Structure 1
Amino acid sequence: MNYNADSLPPIKLIPLNAETASLSGRTASTRPPTDIRWVKVLEFLRSNNLAPNSRKLYERELKRFLAWSELHYHELRPRHLALYKEYLRDEIRTDVGKPLSKSSINAGIAALKSFFKWMSYTYPEIIATNPTLGIKLEKVPLPPAQSLTPEQMEQVWSALELLGETKQRDTALVHILSHGLRAGEVVQLNVGSFDGKLLFLPDTKTNEPRLVPLRKESREVLAEYLLTRSHQREVLNSDFPLMISHHAS
């Protein structure tokens, strides 16, 4: 069969530029590929029973770390985390231009410690050794007691032994207060604020989140109090109050 030039359909040029090319009426996407590292962060956030404020802080701090480093997780070493801690201390500024407080630096490092502990446990084939091991938190001195003398505190501890139903809760409460927390901060604490070692305070009078390391005895007392509540068939969701009232409503 013979064809002449007039019978051939017109030639249509299809641009190969991704910004202008279209296929079946659909414009090619220019969205950057998803950072596979962030996928693991989202999995971590979903797998942990974090309180909303804690989740927000963890997400913010992990996002900041991934923006600072382009290394994949298996490439990270303790020296990289030490450099990142220096970056938080020396280069990051608050909204009013001030350096981060030690408590804010600790919040960032604690988020990384929690995430990489989870990563090394969940994906040992990716991270054989937790790179945050050996990275220490900044030392934040406890605020001095402003109202009770050591002798008065001894009287408080002695009085706790005379309590009945509320003894365990009140003992845990006094342990928390002995670390310099204000009453208004304590009532905002929920179960997700305690990770077994630290108390996370999202809202403080300085408008900065704060991490409060608990003494060993205080950690054990608080953990035992929560365990007792669990044995009483209370479901301890992360957003439930850390301290519950024993007064009848």
Structure 2
Amino acid sequence: MKKHSTEAIPLILDFCLWLNEHNKSPNTIKTYKRELEKYQEWLQEKNRDINHLEKSDIQSYIDYLEEQQKSLATIDKTIGAIRTFAKFLKKPELTFGIEIKPVEKKNEIETLSAFEYNQLLKKVKEDGNLRNITIVYVLLHTGIRVSELCSLNRSHIDLDNHELIVEKTNEKRVIPLSQEAREYLKNYLASHSAEEAVFVSNAGERLTERAVQYMLKKYQVNPQKLRHTFCQRLIDNKVDVETVSRLAGHKDINVTKRYIKSSMNKQKVEEAINEAFTNSQIC
């Protein structure tokens, strides 16, 4: 199987046959196959694969789903598929003790206020770590996911054309770089000699997602809040929803439409109603 291929690997197909032999319904087989293919795709991005499954891989994937604020139902469905797959492998112990603590979804999308936005940039600049300043600007001004940030290579940064490129399985997004993000990226890339990775640790290794999350925690923010802020600011500045959806890499445009609802608070709705009906004749 080619790296990042979405083609079902033989092991997953064998699993589907095993499910059929155990009289599982076609819908169950289809669901489990789909969930395992998503998991395999995620594993490949981490240079792992489902043929050599380890308990830590499963826990990391569940942590990732929680970070993405997937619903309890989605996480339960995923762990159910992986648990059954572990039984098929005759390794049920792989899923023993897996911690499932889904993040409770809130009705309101959490974004940075103008004051919080300025305070975050002020504090991270005061600390003077060029890498961390660059990370904050890139997350805030491109809206990319923390996993995408950590996967960035130098070839994904086009300073001449002011672009950042995100490449994933069957997906390529080109995001314009703001002047500030561009300047910090230029200076940071010149500060280290890693041949491939954009963001690296003090030891010169590719930076991990947990390291980024830990760094941001000092400033009482998380990558998802910075991503939400990017999307919300674009919507508030009249960028059309299709463009925001494309830049953010949302597969479902309804996800992007939440930012439209979030921006329409009670006061704005009242103002819109007053504007629509004041000094107007209704025919």
Q: TM-score, normalised by structure 2?
A: 0.31
Q: Which has the higher contact order (CA 8 A, sep 6+)?
A: 1
Q: TM-score, normalised by structure 1?
A: 0.35
Larger radius of gyration: 1
Give the structure with the higher percent helix.
Answer: 2
